[in-house]
Structure 1
Amino acid sequence: MDLDVVAWVHVSRDRLLAVRSRGRDLLYLPGGKREPGEDDWSALSREVREELALELDPGSFRELGVIRAAAHDQPAFAQVRMACFTAGYAGDMSAAGEIDEYRYVGRAERSLLAPAAQAALDLATTHGLLSP
C-alpha cells in the first residue's frame, strides 16, 4: 500500500529545504497527506502553513514530478508516492506544528534525508534546481 503525499521542493544556495517532525530520526520535505476533498495546491499550501508558517504563492506553483520510494518510519505503508511541487513564498520561516527543526541540506548530506526526500533531491538536481 502506498502513502500518497504532496511535498514542497524549495532550494536556496544550492541546498534543499528539509524538516524534521517530532520524534523522527531523518529529515523529510515540507508537505504531507491531503485532507478529504483537497487538491494538490490546497493540501500543500495548508501543510507548509502548518509546518513552517509560510504562505505559498499560487501564481508560481508548479509540479516538478512524482517520485516513489520506500516509506520510512511508516509501518502501515511499503512505499511513498510523493508529488513534488515548487512555489515561491511569503513570510518568515519558522518551525511550527509538529515540526521540530528545518534546515537546508546539500548533496553531501543526503544520508540525513528519508528515502523519498533523497529521491526528491535527485529530482531537483535533474531539473537544474541543484548542482550535480
Structure 2
Amino acid sequence: MKAIEIVAGVIRDAGGRVLTVRKRGTSAFMLPGGKREAGESDITALSRELGEEIGCDLITADHLGTFDAPAANEPETRVYGSIYLAVVAGEAVAKAEIEELLWIDPKSPPSVRLAPLLERQVLPRLTAA
C-alpha cells in the first residue's frame, strides 16, 4: 500500500463551520492543504498550500494532531495528515486545482462525499469538545 504525507488546515468561520475543498475531477470534499515540498516545514507548506488553493494568508496554526485514513482519491493508498487549526486572512476562493469550496457544520455535515481523513478522524475531534 502506498502512503501520502500531507499537511492541512481546519479553517472555521464565525459560526464554527469548517472550510472544505473539492479538487477538480474528484468528488470528495477535504481540508485545504497538500504535500510538503522538499525541505519544507509543516507551517511553510501549509502557508504555501493555502495561498495556492484558496488565496488566503496563514496567520496562526496550532497542531490538532497527526492522523491517517484511506486516501480519498488514490486507490490502495493511505494518507497521513498533520492537521492544524488555522487562522487565515483574506476571503477564501477556489484557485489552482480547487473546483469548489463548501463550508460544513462539523456537528451535522451535509450529504456530500467527505474524505475519510476528514470524516473519520478530524470531525470527531472537533465535535468532541
TM-score bracket relative to the smaller structure: 0.7 to 0.9
TM-score, length basis structure 2: 0.88
**Greater helix proportion:** 1
Equivalent residues of 1:16, 1:121 under 8 A apart: no
Equivalent residues of 2:11, 2:88 under 8 A apart: no
CA RMSD of aligned residues (A): 1.5
Alignment: residue pair count: 124
For structure 2, the residue ranges without an aligned partner over 5 or more in a row are: none
Alpha-carbon distance, 1:44 to partner: 0.4
Equivalent residues of 1:54, 1:89 under 8 A apart: yes
For structure 1, the residue ranges without an aligned partner over 5 or more in a row are: none
| Separation of aligned partners in 1, 2:61 and 2:83 | 10
| Match runs of 1:1-132 below 5 Å | 1-12=2-13, 13-57=15-59, 60-75=60-75, 77-106=76-105, 107-109=108-110, 111-118=112-119, 119-126=121-128, 128=129
TM-score, length basis structure 1: 0.86
**Greater strand proportion:** 2
| Separation of aligned partners in 1, 2:47 and 2:30 | 16
Encode CA deviations 1:71-100: one digit per residue, 9 max, x unaligned.
12113x521111100121111221111101
